[in-house]
Structure 1
């Protein structure tokens, strides 16, 4: 529903008309700053974002109603866990509250020498109406920052992720209710082993669960996490040297038949229920070229392209033309280099990545929370899920054609297009439950007085299988388990133990009792060789079953999609180009066992 056209129209008509008198016809936000007209993620009118081409009108966060009503994050604090934040920046300083920490020297100024964290903070809560730069998604929200990426000890993680120096719960009004994590890793092999036995991972999981459910007098907080930027290729380090990792098939570099080369479910922090994982949209309302994807993506949000040929994000940069992303000199982005609209290079037009999609989502969450601060975090997540917009609706997924072990031509629905599950929720591995839709979520928040029932988490339910996975065959290995507990699903975690020597060949599917099929690990994922034979207690997450009932038969299927025609390549300019996974697996794989854990109510 498009509430902004018919809700409270009479009461805001006069204010709207007065505001429009002072705004350009391209964009009609209530308060404007010099660069707001190029911030397409706020109101997309087909701007260029100072790049060489324009986006598609209407492909934005849909915040017109919230803007008119002044619902813009007031009273909600967002923690920026990043390279640091220039908290004295003139477009940020008035929204900065006490609580920032320099994790290197212990001071309260989280020095940012890169600019990434400062740009993230600007997307969330740059001030509006001060005649500087642009504005944030939630320009009335509070900000604190941490330079965690410069000091990643356990203590630094706890301080930046909400566990204070005195180990108190987050109950003060200035404590963060939203944590933005625009960072992550791209493992070149599965992270094997029972992570619950890893002391650091177990501690982080415990802290995030406690803060999500119990902080702020039981209202909780939300952790937002970027999905990653490795759709087509990624980088890894071997003996201290950086290598580009890329797919190769049919005598073509970077050919992965349209499938993501790196699945977001490979990164352990992306598989925890407590992180709301976000993929990235460009200004045309389609998946950004770099965005990692997977069944663990909850929502999609604007992240842009690179700000040269296509629009990126216009946001805050480190001050001055000698540091940050915007420095002196010529650039394809016309904002950069000391331009007329930004002579001091205090802003940037090239911020992008799921690093941008995450803070745009964090700002959206702060906005929804400020509409009804009494709502608990899980209910806010639920409102975002129920109002998410079916973006790029014509996307049909990815079909994989390959030759079977016996020479037969096969076709596999490797990533389904948009599906409507049994509970009526749309889902796509590229976009999660859909694009963030601020106005509809705000409207629902205003009239929501009942929170979701208490969260229930089942124990891991294991099943031993020992089923053969035939090479290059759609039959695959299949197993079914019955779940007796009947919960309304919020998320499902899958744990697998699989023997296989070419993991890039494997697709892993999970089908619910209602018949919804989720591809939790897509085929042709770009693992390097030497993966110790397969998956060991590897955990994957799916939001595909959101709102369905858990009771009944769940089925796993593992399919081998390649008899050795594809490869993974690694390249370093000084070392050269090498192939890995070049030989097909000599033996069939084995699905040894699998387990399920349900989160729901």
Structure 2
């Protein structure tokens, strides 16, 4: 991948961009501080230069202007993926939006799991992120609480970057696009303002979500720390303590593996890639008592950008740049994932060209993989509740791993864990256990 992997957690929020076309989605804050960043990808525009040499693509650091799309680019990149281009796209909704939901179809067995359950607001997922667009038509019905902000000086949970709303769309979107658990409850815990977050804020949010008695916590974010460094060791210990607290209270904690394409097994080698460390660990994804999630593509293979290693438990489909990316540098929009985005933030050139409504954008990254696993975990909890059964976090993790869609190759298992999360299979296995009386009521 043509990006500087050593700078992911050190650069501004622009590194959360899904592809060069989406530079307007996440405004850059040159003075951003903090040690935690969303688990999204850092992409540069080299593939545009290869395809259209000499063309100028201007990116506004303020987010007010996007890339200037050349007509040839629209012809070659946008038009081929439109559905029936001779017709007005708005006439095809909601089917048009659902055509993009290949990841949802993979996880739900072509929406078969929705026949069993779509979840309920009685079961809640804490989205510890940048907040959520509370008025988004696809999400508003499922936001069961206003949540809380841990960003100093920001009282509300309004999403100023779009990341948290994108994560929420993977869990509980309904209407023009579907999701894994379209009726589950979600609660925003804001730890990102316009820049990076602090580990202290994330840890406080984990503790507060636990006190609020949510059922699942999703953490589509991460940082690297050196366990040999005294200050870093304290941060690691604080994360471990907070997650252990949640686990003991019966809360499932799901976290992304990170999007640098690093092998997390060798702390010394990882430290060399990060720089300025003797040893390095990724957290919270990778820590004990978390379900750590990697990303897969449309070919059901682990993506090149997804961090991997023995600490990755399983994966979920979160897209990549397509089969031709490595050879030609040309991204395939059909390999991306469609999700929700704040209706009040600027629309990307691609969503405009595709005539999508305001509030829907394309994205890739482990940030979108983690919430899909969190959603399946919440569905299991919701079904168990209705049957009078109490599922422990460890039991849910075993069910998720037992129910995955298997990888085709052994190397995929090394990179992506037990397999790809499968909601329908997990619900079927839970049903069998309940019918057999294998779980205490």
User: Taking structure 2 as the reference length, what is the TM-score of the superposition?
Assistant: 0.65
| Other-structure match for 2:220 | 182
| Other-structure match for 1:314 | 338
| Other-structure match for 2:292 | 277
**Post-superposition shift, 1:447?**
3.3
**Post-superposition shift, 1:147?**
2.3
What does residue range 128-147 of structure 1 map to in structure 2 within 5 Å? 130=175, 133-147=176-190
What does residue range 110-149 of structure 1 map to in structure 2 within 5 Å? 110-127=157-174, 130=175, 133-149=176-192
| Other-structure match for 2:19 | none
Q: Which runs of 5+ in 2 are unaligned?
A: 1-82, 84-92, 264-271, 323-330
Q: Secondary structure at 2:415's aligned position in 1?
A: coil
| CA 108–78 in structure 1, closer or farther in 2 if over 3 Å, else same | farther
Q: Secondary structure at 1:300's aligned position in 2?
A: strand
**Post-superposition shift, 1:105?**
5.8
| Other-structure match for 1:109 | 156
2:401 aligned with 1:390, yes or no? no
2:80 aligned with 1:80, yes or no? no
| Other-structure match for 1:212 | 247
| CA 106–378 in structure 1, closer or farther in 2 if over 3 Å, else same | farther
Check whether the contact 1:100–1:144 (CA below 8 A) recurs between aligned residues: yes
1:422-443 per-residue CA deviation (whole Å, 9 max, x = no partner) reads xxxxxx2211111111111111
Check whether the contact 2:133–2:342 (CA below 8 A) recurs between aligned residues: yes
1:245-268 per-residue CA deviation (whole Å, 9 max, x = no partner) reads 69xxxxxxxxxxxxxxxxx98314
Q: Identify the structure with the greater helix proportion.
A: 2
Deviates more, 1:364-373 or 1:65-74: 65-74
| Other-structure match for 2:419 | 434
Q: Secondary structure at 1:270's aligned position in 2?
A: coil
**1:82 & 1:358 partners in 2: Cα distance?**
12
| Other-structure match for 2:393 | 377
Tell me which of 368, 386, 410 is aligned to 1:356.
Answer: 368
2:213 aligned with 1:201, yes or no? no
Tell me which of 201, 204, 229 is aligned to 1:156.
Answer: 201
Check whether the contact 2:117–2:379 (CA below 8 A) recurs between aligned residues: no
| Other-structure match for 2:261 | 231
Check whether the contact 1:305–1:312 (CA below 8 A) recurs between aligned residues: yes
Q: Which has the higher contact order (CA 8 A, sep 6+)?
A: 2
| CA 361–36 in structure 1, closer or farther in 2 if over 3 Å, else same | same
**2:163 & 2:379 partners in 1: Cα distance?**
22
**Post-superposition shift, 1:60?**
4.2
Tell me which of 303, 327, 330 is aligned to 1:288.
Answer: 303
| Other-structure match for 2:228 | 192
Check whether the contact 1:376–1:451 (CA below 8 A) recurs between aligned residues: no
Check whether the contact 1:73–1:363 (CA below 8 A) recurs between aligned residues: no
1:526-583 per-residue CA deviation (whole Å, 9 max, x = no partner) reads xxxxxxxxxxxxxxxxxxxxxxxxxxxxxxxxxxxxxxxxxxxxxxxxxxxxxxxxxx
Q: Secondary structure at 2:103's aligned position in 1?
A: coil
| CA 193–285 in structure 1, closer or farther in 2 if over 3 Å, else same | same
**Post-superposition shift, 1:158?**
4.2
**2:126 & 2:110 partners in 1: Cα distance?**
22
Check whether the contact 1:186–1:228 (CA below 8 A) recurs between aligned residues: no
Check whether the contact 2:118–2:184 (CA below 8 A) recurs between aligned residues: no
Check whether the contact 1:265–1:271 (CA below 8 A) recurs between aligned residues: no
Q: Secondary structure at 2:201's aligned position in 1?
A: helix
**Post-superposition shift, 1:180?**
0.9
| Other-structure match for 1:98 | 145
Check whether the contact 2:255–2:290 (CA below 8 A) recurs between aligned residues: yes
**Post-superposition shift, 1:311?**
1.3
What does residue range 455-470 of structure 1 map to in structure 2 within 5 Å? none
What number of residue pairs does the alignment pair up? 322
| Other-structure match for 1:250 | none
**1:200 & 1:231 partners in 2: Cα distance?**
23
**Post-superposition shift, 1:291?**
0.9
| Other-structure match for 1:499 | none
**Post-superposition shift, 1:306?**
4.0
Check whether the contact 1:228–1:292 (CA below 8 A) recurs between aligned residues: yes
1:365-408 per-residue CA deviation (whole Å, 9 max, x = no partner) reads 112222212222221111111112212x1x353xxxxxxxxxxx
Q: Identify the structure with the greater strand proportion.
A: 1
What does residue range 379-528 of structure 1 map to in structure 2 within 5 Å? 379-391=395-407, 393=408, 395-397=409-411, 428-449=413-434
**Post-superposition shift, 1:318?**
1.5
Across the aligned residues of Structure 1 and Structure 2, the Cα RMSD in angstroms comes to: 3.4
User: Taking structure 1 as the reference length, what is the TM-score of the superposition?
Assistant: 0.48
**1:81 & 1:337 partners in 2: Cα distance?**
29
Q: Which has the larger radius of gyration?
A: 1
**Post-superposition shift, 1:338?**
5.6
**2:374 & 2:410 partners in 1: Cα distance?**
29
**Post-superposition shift, 1:85?**
1.4
| CA 272–280 in structure 1, closer or farther in 2 if over 3 Å, else same | same
**1:287 & 1:437 partners in 2: Cα distance?**
15
**1:113 & 1:210 partners in 2: Cα distance?**
30
**1:185 & 1:158 partners in 2: Cα distance?**
12
**2:294 & 2:343 partners in 1: Cα distance?**
29
